[in-house]
Amino acid sequence: MNGIVIFDLDNTLIHSTIDFAGIRRDIIALWREHSITNQSDEYFQQLSIGQIIELATAHDEHSESALMPVAWRIVLEYERAGMQQATIEDGAAEELEVLRRDGFLLAVLTNNARLATMEALDKFGLRNTFDLVLTRDEVTMKPDPAGIHCARAHFGGSPMRAAMVGDSWLDGAAAQSAGVPFIAFQPKPGRLEARDIPVWTVVNRLSEITSVLAQPWPEF
């Protein structure tokens, strides 16, 4: 095999209408209602949704309430609603087939729940295209590198080279921590630079990935 290509899902392979701002708003309101945090809105903008939810860890451990499961149910409701209106990125299915023919193993690594993820992959006929699907139900959410480590272990261990493809700083930070190159797909201007995320290259079309992977891979 030529290696593992690990793809983010949302805003990389597909485009959902998940209301991420709504998720943040509802969870932050829940936390403030229960006096879990008094941090500013600007503070929360620096955190991923998973990191925001983790703020309730200590509260749940020392009280009879269980707010974290409530928050995750809020997230899942938004995810499933957003996936219903999702569209597939132009050329995604075709590029994935090219990579498979070239001998690459393919994985999805997403912070979405497994239920919403599999519904989306089934919607576009992509489930059987991937050799492995990892969601937040199986591994710690990005920017933690656990998903990348898990994928490499699943396919035989760390000697096999791997690359991460995604649109956000979460994908890049996970790749950096795991020591694998990061291919940034249509990243928002300035977002990766603001967090000093190292990038192998930026692509604006998924069809460009084949030629990128044909080049010498960066050393870590």
Q: What is the DSSP letter of 215?
A: S
Name the pTM for this structure: 0.84
DSSP strands (E only) in the chain: 3-7, 14-15, 87-88, 104-109, 132-134, 162-166, 182-185, 201-203
Distance from C-alpha of 31 to C-alpha of 68, rounded to nearest angstrom: 10
* Domain spans, the chain: 3-15+88-213, 20-84
Residue-level pLDDT at 95: 98
Could you tell me the CA-to-CA distances from 90 to 14, 201, 208 in Å, in that order? Answer: 9, 19, 12
Distance from C-alpha of 220 to C-alpha of 210, rounded to nearest angstrom: 21
Task: Determine the distance from the C-alpha atom of residue 154 to the mean position of all C-alpha atoms in its chain, rounded to a whole number.
Answer: 18
Q: Quick one: pLDDT band at residue 23, thresholds 50, 70, 90? A: very high
Q: Please compute the mean of the pLDDT values over residues 188-206 and round it to a whole number.
A: 96
Q: Please compute the mean of the pLDDT values over residues 193-201 and round it to a whole number.
A: 96
Look at residue 109 and tell me whether its pLDDT is greater than 90. Answer: yes
Encoding tokens for residue 184?
């940034």
Q: Quick one: pLDDT band at residue 5, thresholds 50, 70, 90? A: very high
The CATH number of domain 3-15+88-213 is 3.40.50.1000: yes
Residue with tokens 């590198």, as numbered in its chain: 145
Q: Quick one: pLDDT band at residue 186, thresholds 50, 70, 90? A: very high
Q: Please compute the mean of the pLDDT values over residues 2-31 and round it to a whole number.
A: 93
Distance from C-alpha of 49 to C-alpha of 98, rounded to nearest angstrom: 33
Q: What is the DSSP letter of 127?
A: G
Per-residue pLDDT reduced to its tens digit, 38-63: 888 888 888 889 899 888 887 777 77
Q: Quick one: pLDDT band at residue 187, thresholds 50, 70, 90? A: very high
Residue-level pLDDT at 159: 63
- Residue with more model confidence, 46 or 178: 178
Please provide the size of the chain in residues.
Answer: 220
Per-residue pLDDT reduced to its tens digit, 129-166: 999 999 999 999 999 999 999 999 999 865 689 999 99
**CA dihedral sign of residues 193, 197, 202, 206:** negative
Distance from C-alpha of 107 to C-alpha of 120, rounded to nearest angstrom: 15
Question: Does residue 151 contact residue 183 with C-beta atoms inside 8 Å?
Answer: no
Q: Is 118 helix (H, G, I), strand (E, B) or coil?
A: helix
Question: Does residue 86 contact residue 122 with C-beta atoms inside 8 Å?
Answer: no
Q: What angle do CA 93, 97, 101 make, to 5 degrees?
A: 170
